[in-house]
Amino acid sequence: MIWLDGKFQIGNVHCPDKSISHRALILASISKEPSKIFNVSLCKDVLATVDCLQKLGATIVFQGSTAFVTPISKPNNKVVLDCQNSGTTARLLCGLVCGLGVEATFVGDQTLCKRPMDRVQKPLEQMGAKFKQVEGALFATKPCKLVGTHVVAEVKSAQVKSAVLLAGLFAEGKTTYTEQVATRNHTENMLVSFGCNVVVDGLSTTVQKGQPVCANSTVPNDFSSVAFPLVLAVLSGKSATFSNVCTNPLRTGLLQILQNCGLNYTLCNTKIVCGEQVADLHVFPSKFGSIVATESQVVSAIDEIPLLAVVAIATKGTHKFFGVRELQFKECNRIQAIVEMAKKCNCQCLFDGDNLTIVSQGNLPTSPHFCCHNDHRMAMCGVVLANLCGGGSVDGQPFDVSFPNFLQCLGIFPKNLALVGSDISQSKSPILMRNLAKHAGICITHTLVELPKHATDQQLMEVYNSFDGLNVTMPFKERYAQLLGANCPAVNTIGRGVVPQTTDGYGMEQAIASCGVNLANLPIWVVGAGGAAKTALCALQKHNCKVQVLNRTQSHVDSLAKQFHLQQVENPVGVLTFVPECQFEQQIQLPPSVEFVLVSAYKGQSGIKKQAEERHLTVVEGLQMLYHQGAKSFALWTGTPIQNNYLSFQHDFNNF
């Protein structure tokens, strides 16, 4: 999760082209001689391609963003290629591996496994490729020999075209691919740059069998990445300049679409780099009218349609996008994601199965939250839109898939916070940190870091060194206390410049005090014997409370009684429970003397809470304790005053 405060400053945007990086690395890996590729994108998608090429037998060594590639001499057989989240990796390498004639099993993450792969397999099968389905994998290739043929496109996809053309380098005779409409031609340009025999005739591209020659290449900046700061600048009434951008006309559909509805921009210093048109792009404050994107324009802007939808949401008018059904088969169903985003901004949004219409009044909401569905482009759209709203949050931050330095290019440098623990997927900490950041006016990221219970010390310290601030939950509180030399047996708050400590006791005290209870000298029962109960005992001793511990394991009770010099309490005024509802907890009967209870578990039921409510006693909710301990942790990490906006957090918690 990232919370944005609406402040940004667009500076020098450096974002090597992802699509061109993939293709340059692939062709260099099957060339006659070693080659160098400068300014390679180091995003996760491209690094997935690097890993797969190395498994096939290429040697790729990086010095900064320069790749030194020694091509495959004899391809490795029976390899597993992990494409991670990258559809480009899976589809382009499908064509390459079929050409190499080796067995390979293609795997990927859950998102990639949902994306259609038959669209690339079918045309390759026309050339003689053979596939088999493997449980848990995308697909697997079988040894084959390819024969050049004429493939007519069934889908509008540059990835499918690229797979066929790469396979054509290994096929006997000529391979021709004919499209319905022109898609991006980076592969054709790269093939020419690497000395391959390629002929482009209208919508048909023909390649002959042959090995690429060495071609040292320089990758330009990625227009698909530049588009995000560009749109943010223009919609905010700012000018901006982006240098060395790939301005291939089949890639810059967003410029053409926005120019038709009011965008003011210029191109200068135009040149050809790596077979691509490259220029410096200047944009100026512009007033937009309604967007109309034709089907042919959409093809050259398919990855930017979600961003154009952001422009539509922020601009009064009726906006139409034709022929966008392909967006349903991206990293997520981007049509569905766009519809959700539009509704969050009170816009009407209609998809008829092919065309998308957005009707907006141009009035943006305050502090919205956007779901990115673990899709890097939807996450970046959410960041742009949240900034235009003056602040807001996005539930994920997978920017490193395509644009690792995205936030830095917007002049956004958040405090990076996290919760580390085991089995924390349902944690409410992201909601709490979002609320605290909103009231403090501070930009943060917040990540759930789930580790196995037996994580090594090295793993724990790697997490510690990766964030500005960490909340620690079970089972790592005592481990971190030992690793960091804390002055207490367990910690929940650690980070750069922060003395390792626990804020659980503070959270308990503040939650109880906020309900009008003064703990001084009170007789108390504490239910439980774990870390939270121990922290409560330390805090209660400061208030000179008389305390008795109740726990189903008597040896734990005896141990704590000895450690904290506890005694029997016959008539407790308060009962603090730090265990989930269970048979033991349900059997505890509240004495008549009890005036209040604290129930630390804010999920599920509690027998003690039920008794207290039936007797109309004061109930201190665990959610209050969570809020106050988190508020103190947040203040320690950010250097801001401790907040007390519990009712606001409670509202967010109940409505998020």
Q: Which residues contact 219 (CB under 8 A, 6 or more apart)?
A: 16, 17, 20, 21, 24, 37, 38, 39, 40, 41, 274
Q: How many CB atoms lie within 10 A of CB 405?
A: 15
Q: Return the pLDDT at 488.
A: 85
| Higher pLDDT, residue 424 or 603 | 424
At 129-158, the pLDDT tens digits run: 999 999 999 999 999 999 999 999 999 999
Structural domains in the chain, CATH included, are 2-13+222-409 (3.65.10.10), 18-218 (3.65.10.10), 470-656 (3.40.50.720)
118 flagged as catalytic: no
Reported as a pLDDT band with limits 50, 70 and 90, residue 274 is confident
Structure confidence at residue 582 as a pLDDT band (50, 70, 90): confident
- The predicted model gives 381-386 an average pLDDT of 98
Q: Is the pLDDT of residue 275 over 90?
A: no
Q: Please compute the mean of the pLDDT values over residues 6-23 and round it to a whole number.
A: 95
Read off the pLDDT of each residue in 370-399 and give the average, rounded to a whole number: 96
- Summarised one tens digit per residue, pLDDT across range 84-123 is 999 999 999 999 999 999 999 999 999 999 999 999 999 9
Pairing type for strands 356-360 and 415-421 reads unpaired
Mean pLDDT of 319-342: 96
pLDDT per residue as tens digits for the range 220-241: 999 999 999 999 999 999 999 9
Binning pLDDT at 50, 70 and 90, where does residue 260 land?
Answer: very high
| Residue 402 confidence class, pLDDT cut points 50, 70, 90 | very high
* Residue range 407-433: mean pLDDT, rounded: 95
CB 381 within 8 Å of CB 307: yes
Q: Span 54-78, mean pLDDT?
A: 97
Give yes or no for residue 639 having a pLDDT over 80. yes
Query: Within 13 Å, how many C-alpha atoms sit on residue 36's CB side?
Result: 7
Predicted local confidence at residue 604, as pLDDT: 67
pLDDT of residue 580: 83
Amino acid 590 reads L
Q: Give the β-pairing of 348-351 and 356-360.
A: antiparallel
Measured between alpha carbons, how far is 138 from 159 in angstroms, rounded to an integer?
16
Give the pLDDT score at 273: 87
Which strands make up the sheet holding 369-370, listed edge to edge?
Answer: 369-370, 392-394, 2-4, 444-450, 415-421, 469-472, 493-495, 498-501
- The residue type at 15: C
Q: Which of 249, 248, 250, 230 is nearest to 240 (CA)?
A: 230
> What ranges in 42-157 are assigned the alpha helix state H?
44-56, 87-100, 110-113, 118-126
595, two tokens: 């005036």
- Structure confidence at residue 176 (pLDDT): 98
pLDDT grade, residue 215 (50/70/90)? confident
CB atoms within 10 A of CB 336: 13
> Which of 303, 375, 395, 652 is labelled catalytic?
303
Beta-bridge partners for 356: 321, 351
For 479-495, the pLDDT digits (tens) are 999 999 999 888 999 99
Q: Hey, is 128 helix, strand or coil? A: coil
> What is the average pLDDT across 340-344?
97
- What is residue 11's predicted lDDT score, i.e. its pLDDT? 87
Lowest mean pLDDT across 20-24, 212-216, 494-498, 574-578:
212-216
| φ, ψ dihedrals at 28, nearest 5° | -65, -30
What average pLDDT is seen over the chain? 95
Of 623, 620, 633, 615, give the one whose Cα is nearest residue 514. 620
Model confidence over 532-569: pLDDT tens digits?
898 899 999 999 999 999 999 999 999 999 999 998 99
Q: What is the pLDDT of residue 603?
A: 67
What is the arithmetic mean of pLDDT over 29-45?
A: 96
- Whether residue 602 has pLDDT greater than 80: no
Q: Quickly state the pLDDT bin for 581 (edges 50, 70, 90).
A: confident
